[in-house]
Amino acid sequence: MSAAEATGNIAALHRFHSATNSGNPGLVARAIDELAAPDMVFHAPVPLGATGAEALKRVWEVLLRAFPDIHVTVEETVAEGDKVVSRNTVSGTHRGEYRGLPPTGKTVSYGEIFVFRFVDGRIAEICGVVDVLTQLRQLGALPS
């Protein structure tokens, strides 16, 4: 993969994060349609009955409903070959139901790392780790 392709993949990922940070579900869905392959492979817990880009849309629907002010801060991005790794800090205020928890009004801040594999400029595969333990502790769902 050329340096130009790697740069394009990083730019695509930044466009995706820009959309997610908008708080606009329609903009997020359009960005996913543009940037993710419909048959994208998503290695993460996803809503039942959803696969590919549709699963990613559902995840963001849940997150935006629960944390309308959600913000992903990209701390570090590394690209090699057809992959881009993004280490992020996610923050937001719990204003809607999330994982069975009614809104608490509490603010969360937690880390995540995702590996995105690109094919022809679109996300073909996502593999990631999200610090859900910290998130749930901050929401009061688990003891500190």
Domains and their CATH numbers in the chain: 3-138 (3.10.450.50)
Q: What is the pLDDT of residue 46?
A: 65
> Residue 87: phi, psi to the nearest 5?
-100, 125
**Predicted confidence (pLDDT) per residue in 24-64, tens digit:** 999 999 999 999 999 999 887 666 677 889 999 999 999 99
Q: What is the pLDDT of residue 47?
A: 63
Q: What is the pLDDT of residue 3?
A: 80
Strand partners, 36: 123
